Chain A
Amino acid sequence: MSAPSHAPESEEQAEQDDVVNVTAQARKARGDSENRSLRQIAWQRLRKDKVAMISGIVVVLLILAAIFAPLLTKWFGYPPTLFHQDLIHPDTGLPYKDPNLPPPSDGSMPTENLDPWGGMSADHLLGVEPITGRDLFSRIVYGARISLLVAFLSTVVCVVLGTVLGIIAGYKGGWIDTVISRAMDVFLAFPLMLFAIALVGVIPEGILGLTGNGLRIGVIVFIIGFFNWPYVARIVRGQTLSLREREFVEAARSLGAGNRHILFREILPNLVTPIIVYSTLLIPTNILFEAALSFLGVGINPPTPSWGKMLSDAVRVAENAPYFVIFPGLAIFITVLAFNLFGDGLRDAFDPKTSD
């Protein structure tokens, strides 16, 4: 990843920001594009990037949908765990096309009245689940909650661990750098998914007062955070290595600034941009990971809706109810794609090598 290295947002510079803004505006009025701050340039580029803007809007909508899931399902659906078995043919477990139609009087299969699209209607926007008849729209909206929650939390853990260790390794150098860098190699050598399913099996209920899904979410966040921090740390370390030799750090040091000041006030502000860009690209990976664990049955426990679990439920009925594969699958796909596109756009916008 080519991260921006020209982001002189040091303290001194930050104090002058207002002045810079004023001059920048004045210059802009003259049609002069010199001397804009990187963030202004990036924002202008991002606004021109239609794909990035649309995917950004999709991301925001998804987050809003997850937050307001109870409201959305109240208006457009049903509670996500409510059974509607009157809509389901008891023998095949498939939804009826028209539940009001009487079943064939001779007791044969109502093949004509079974809906391969899951009984989609104004009532049930995406139809209902086979067998249980739970409202699919509501379950998918609620699934976004688990997906995004786990992805955000685990990304935060990755970023915090990775930033702290990466910055220490890059700034201190010497044996500390060696130890941390070797540790990164070790962590990257673990078969992550095997470890994840193994840990879920080993950790008992009630640890740290967590039970049920609280525990599952805790374990998944811990695993992703604990094993994926090296990806962040590598980038932060590399950036710190080059930043530490820059003039403004040198200047601060010669003015008598201590390590703490240099790390937190001089170097860290310059790392914010690459960290934000990388986090945006880490979120979709973590969404996929959580969904995979739920698909394998070691993620979120039913009946809490999760996209991965829905897909694994769909395996048994996939032949006759393809819609049950397609809707949760599309939910994962659209979410991951939106984050990927937005992350790509952010990266390009902040990349000093991209020309306007």
Chain B
Amino acid sequence: MKAAGSTAPWTPPLTAMLNYILRRLGAGLLLLAVVTAVTFWIFYVLPRWAGVTPRGMAAMYVGKAPTPEALDATVERLGLDQPVAMQFLEFVRGLLFGQEFDFGRATVECAAPCLGYSFTTNSPVLPQLLERLPVTASLAFGAAIIWIIGGVAVGVLSAVKKGSLFDRLAMSTALVGVSMPIYFTGLLALVFLVHSWELFPVSRYVPLSEDPVAWFQVMFLPWVTLAFLHAAQYARQTRAGMLEVLGEDYIRTARAKGLSERRVIFKHALRPTLTPIVTIFGLDVGLVLGGAILTETVFSLNGIGAYAIDAIVGKDLPVVLGVTLMGAVFIVVCNLVVDLLYPVVDPRVRIAA
């Protein structure tokens, strides 16, 4: 930890920093590779273990129930009768270099990174996912801003004014928040705020680029609902962390030196409290980006999560696989960003660690 009172912030040597970044990047890539392998295993190997024949697999992938000959052709085309290792290589090759699907009459190109090809909609999965990404991203980032600021602010205030009326009210609300499923709060909001009291318009998603005001109006309720759930958890965690840090010796030292209370709270106590918060923030944002399934379902937002649910209902497995993989990518990437932000938030996190 840097010496209290020194004005020049401690900076790690450049090589150590580079080393840290490279190591985190490597770990992220490795994690992604493992996640890809496990996802593949679940979709291609697990059903085989469970006794599904290549023909049955073909039926699961094509989505309809065509003739046995058509199924055999699909088995051939997708290589479902090949050894698992070969299938995995083919899958990875598709991810890296793209893939071609031979339909006899015509071939279809699935450009890299090929997340798969939906035989139900007759199109590659990735472009469809990207088309829906803005909805999910709007939801995720808007809500994330509200919940991280709201949650941390309430948590800090509660900890500083421990035992006060504000603290008790805030913590009761937070407990309600972590105990209410979003499909309950969301439905309540829809029933009362939208339908009964007509405080919010009933409308479909409008892109930000088209009409920012309408976009804001549509997204406001989903944001608040999703953010409430997370903010509650963050407030509880921030409060607990702050209380623990405020009991530390160096806080007493800082106060004894005559530092203002504001400086003690924000400079000395908040930073170490934020480290674990930033970790879960990374995971949570990644998770929501990969499809806020419940929120999108409740508010009829046509995002990635809703796409996944449609695919499950329509038995469109390539899409499900693609969404899952993309979700994992978001989590890994967000984790990576957090890892790289660590040393900024808390200088005690040793670059060398």
Q: Which residues of A contact B (CB under 8 A)?
A: 2, 185-186, 188-191, 193-195, 197-204, 206-207, 284, 288, 291-292, 295-298, 308, 311-312, 314-315, 318-319, 322, 325-326, 329, 332-333, 336-337, 340-341, 344
* Least Cβ–Cβ distance between A321 and chain B, in angstroms: 9
- B184 touching A201, Cβ below 8 Å: no
As a 0/1 sequence over residues 290 to 306 of chain B, the CB contacts with chain A under 8 angstroms (1 = contact) are 11011001100000000
CA of A203 to CA of B180, assembled, Å: 30
- B42 touching A199, Cβ below 8 Å: yes
- A197 touching B35, Cβ below 8 Å: no
As a 0/1 sequence over residues 310 to 353 of chain B, the CB contacts with chain A under 8 angstroms (1 = contact) are 00110101001101100110111001000000000000000000
- A315 touching B187, Cβ below 8 Å: yes
CA of A288 to CA of B46, assembled, Å: 26
- A291 touching B181, Cβ below 8 Å: yes
- A341 touching B188, Cβ below 8 Å: no
Name the B residues within 8 Å of A329 (CB-CB).
Answer: 180-181, 184, 187-188
- A341 touching B175, Cβ below 8 Å: yes
Looking at chain A's contact residues, is the secondary structure mostly helix, strand, loop, or mixed? helix
- A194 touching B308, Cβ below 8 Å: yes
- A198 touching B184, Cβ below 8 Å: no
- B183 touching A318, Cβ below 8 Å: no
Q: In chain B between 21 and 44, which residues have their CB closer than 8 angstroms to a CB of chain A?
A: 31, 34-35, 38, 42-43
Do A191 and B187 contact each other (CB < 8 Å), given the known contacts A207-B51, A332-B181, A340-B179?
Answer: no
- A292 touching B179, Cβ below 8 Å: no
Taking CB as reference atom, which chain A residue is nearest B330? A191
- Using A193-B293, A193-B294, A312-B183 as known contacts, list a sample of 20 further A-B pairs with CB atoms less than 8 Å apart, ordered by residue number in A: A2-B244, A191-B330, A194-B327, A197-B320, A198-B320, A202-B46, A202-B60, A202-B317, A203-B47, A204-B47, A204-B50, A204-B52, A292-B183, A295-B294, A297-B309, A311-B184, A329-B180, A329-B187, A333-B179, A337-B179
Name the A residues within 8 Å of B176 (CB-CB).
Answer: 333, 337
B179, B308, B320, B331: which contacts A284 (Cβ < 8 A)? B179
Do A194 and B324 contact each other (CB < 8 Å), given the known contacts A189-B331, A201-B315?
Answer: yes
CA of A198 to CA of B179, assembled, Å: 26
Residue total for B at the interface (Cβ-Cβ under 8 A): 53
CA of A189 to CA of B336, assembled, Å: 11
B135 at the A interface (CB under 8 A): no
Do A197 and B47 contact each other (CB < 8 Å), given the known contacts A191-B324, A296-B293, A337-B175?
Answer: no
Taking CB as reference atom, which chain B residue is nearest A338? B179
Taking CB as reference atom, which chain A residue is nearest B178? A340
Name the B residues within 8 Å of A203 (CB-CB).
Answer: 46-47, 50
CA of A296 to CA of B180, assembled, Å: 16
As a 0/1 sequence over residues 174 to 208 of chain B, the CB contacts with chain A under 8 angstroms (1 = contact) are 01101111011001101110011000000000000
Name the B residues within 8 Å of A189 (CB-CB).
Answer: 31, 35, 328, 331-332, 335
Which 10 residue pairs spanning A and B have beta carbons closest together?
A191-B327, A329-B184, A337-B179, A336-B179, A207-B50, A191-B290, A198-B320, A194-B324, A319-B195, A325-B187
- A186 touching B31, Cβ below 8 Å: yes
29 cross-chain CB contacts under 8 A: A185-B31, A186-B35, A186-B38, A188-B283, A189-B331, A190-B331, A191-B290, A191-B327, A194-B308, A194-B320, A194-B323, A198-B312, A198-B324, A202-B46, A202-B47, A295-B181, A296-B293, A297-B313, A298-B312, A308-B183, A318-B187, A319-B191, A319-B195, A329-B187, A329-B188, A332-B181, A333-B179, A336-B179, A344-B175
